[in-house]
Chains A and B, each alone.
Chain A
Amino acid sequence: EVQLVESGGGLVKPGGSLRLSCIGSGFAFSSFNMHWVRQAPGKGLEWLSSIDESSSYLYYAGSVEGRFTISRDNAKNALFLQMNSLRAEDTAVYFCARDATTVTAEPLDYWGQGTLVTVSS
C-alpha cells in the first residue's frame, strides 16, 4: 500500500524557519517526481514546489521561490521542504504528493495526510 507521511509542522514565529519531511512507503520512491501543496485555512489548494526523481529539476511557485527549498533523499525514501523567512500567510496545512510521472498530465495520485504549519508571534 502506498503511504506518504508528513511531519515537522508546528508553531513558528514570523521570520523563522521550519523543515517539513515526508516519508514514502509501498512504492519505488526514487522513480517518482514529488510535490508539495498547501491549503491555508478557509482557502483552496496551492501548488508550491516539485522535484524530479534525481533532484535535477526543482520548481517553485512564485509565492515561495527564494524562501522555500525542496529536496529529497532517495536512500531514505524522504522528501523535504525547508521553509525560511516564514510569514503569517504561510500558515496552512502542507501536503506532500506523488506525481504519477509516466501518466499523461502527471496527476498527483497519492497524498499524505498533511502537517499544519502556523506562523504567529
Chain B
Amino acid sequence: DIQMTQSPSSLSASVGNSVSFTCRASQSISKYVNWYQKKPGTAPKLLIYAATTLQSGVPSRFSGSGAGTDFTLTIRSLHPEDFATYYCQQSFSIPWTFGQGTKVE
C-alpha cells in the first residue's frame, strides 16, 4: 500500500496568514493526489485534484503543487472558515490512501 505522510500534524495560524503543508508519498504517484478539507460534523470537501487543479467553486486562495512523491497545499491569506483539517489522498493505486491530516488551528 502507498503511505501518505502529512506534515505537520497541526499548525497554529491567524486570519490573514499564509500557510503551507506537505504530503509525501511512499513511492512516486505522478500527480494522482487530491486534497480535501474536513470540519467536524460535516462531509469532506474537495479542494484540489490532480495535485494542482482547483475544484470548481473553491476560492483561489487555495493552491496545490508537486508531483512524484512530494506535494504541497498552500492557503494564501487564511479566512476564518479555513480553520479545519486537511487531508491528502492518492488515487494512483488501490487501495486508495489518505494522509493522517493537518489541522489548522
Chain A interface residues (CB < 8 Å from chain B)? 35, 37, 39, 44-47, 50, 59-62, 95, 97, 100, 103-109, 111-114
Contact = CB atoms under 8 A, between A and B. Distances in A.
Interface string B24-41: 000000011110101000
Interface of chain B: mostly helix, strand, loop or mixed: loop
A107 B55 contact: yes
Contact of A105 (B38, B44, B50, B101): B50
Contact of B96 (A47, A104, A109, A113): A47
Nearest to B87: A45
A20 to B, nearest CB: 15
Nearest to B48: A107
A59 B51 contact: no
A54 to B, nearest CB: 17
A81 to B, nearest CB: 15
B95 A62 contact: yes
Contacts of B38: 39, 45
A109 B95 contact: no
B100 A44 contact: yes
Interface residues of B, number: 29
Contacts of A113: 42-43
Interface in B1-56: 1, 31-34, 36, 38, 42-46, 49-51, 53, 55
Q: Give the 9 A-B residue pairs with the shortest CB-CB distance, closest first.
A: A107-B49, A111-B43, A105-B50, A107-B34, A47-B96, A104-B50, A45-B98, A44-B101, A61-B95
Contacts of B53: 104
Contacts of A112: 43
A47 B43 contact: no
Given A45-B89, A105-B91, 10 more contacts: A44-B98, A45-B38, A46-B98, A47-B98, A62-B1, A103-B49, A104-B49, A108-B89, A111-B43, A113-B43
Contacts of B46: 107-109
